[in-house]
Amino acid sequence: AVAEALLPHCQAAVTDFLQRSGVATDPEVLKFGLKDPVRLYEQAHDEYSWVSEGRPEACVRDVIRTRVVCPDGDVMANLLRNIAGLPQASQGSQPCLQLLRMNNKCDPKTLEATHLRSVVVTLLLVCGQSSIFVEMQILLAAGLKHSEDTHAEDHRDYLRQSLCADRQLDASMLRSMSMSLPTTPLAPGQRSQQELDGLLGWILHFVQEARVPVQLSMLLLILQHFDDLKDMPLSQRAHELWKQAFIFVLQDGVKVSVKELR
Dump pLDDT digits (tens) for 81-131.
999 998 766 666 678 899 999 999 888 777 777 788 899 999 999 988 888
Q: Specify the DSSP element, H or E, that contains 31.
A: strand 30-34
| Residue 82 Cα distances to 45, 91, 107, angstroms | 34, 17, 20
Q: What are phi and psi of 46, to 5 degrees?
A: -80, -40
Residue 168 and residue 187: Cα distance in Å, rounded?
7
User: Which of 147, 162, 184 is the endpoint of a domain?
Assistant: 147
Mean pLDDT of 12-29: 91
Residues 135 and 196 placed together within one structural domain of the fold: no
Say which CATH number the domain at 27 has. Answer: 3.30.460.10
pLDDT (0 to 100) of residue 178: 38
Give all strands (DSSP E) within 71-118, no chain letters.
96-104
Residues 166 and 125 placed together within one structural domain of the fold: no
Residue 178 and residue 226: Cα distance in Å, rounded?
16
What proportion of the chain, given as a percentage, has pLDDT over 90? Answer: 27
What contacts 24+ positions apart, CB below 8 Å, involve 138-142? Answer: 138/67, 138/68, 138/70, 138/76, 138/79, 138/80, 139/67, 139/68, 139/69, 139/70, 139/76, 140/69, 140/70, 140/71, 140/72, 140/73, 140/76, 141/69, 141/70, 141/71, 141/72
Residue among 142, 157, 149, 81 at smallest CA distance from 112: 157
User: Which of 118, 147, 176 is the endpoint of a domain?
Assistant: 147
Residue among 224, 172, 219 at smallest CA distance from 195: 172
pLDDT (0 to 100) of residue 169: 45
| Residue 121 Cα distances to 68, 98, 105, 153, 159, angstroms | 11, 10, 10, 20, 27
Mean pLDDT of 36-46: 86
Range of the domain at 18: 2-147
**Per-residue pLDDT at 204 exceeds 80:** no
Residue among 11, 36, 21, 243 at smallest CA distance from 136: 11
Residues 124 and 31 placed together within one structural domain of the fold: yes
Report the SS3 class of residue 42.
Answer: helix
**Per-residue pLDDT at 140 exceeds 70:** yes
**Of 187 and 259, more confident:** 259
| Whole-structure pTM value | 0.62
**Per-residue pLDDT at 64 exceeds 60:** yes
User: Which of 117, 147, 177 is the endpoint of a domain?
Assistant: 147
Residues 127 and 204 placed together within one structural domain of the fold: no
Instruction: Tell me the pLDDT of the chain averaged across its residues.
Output: 76
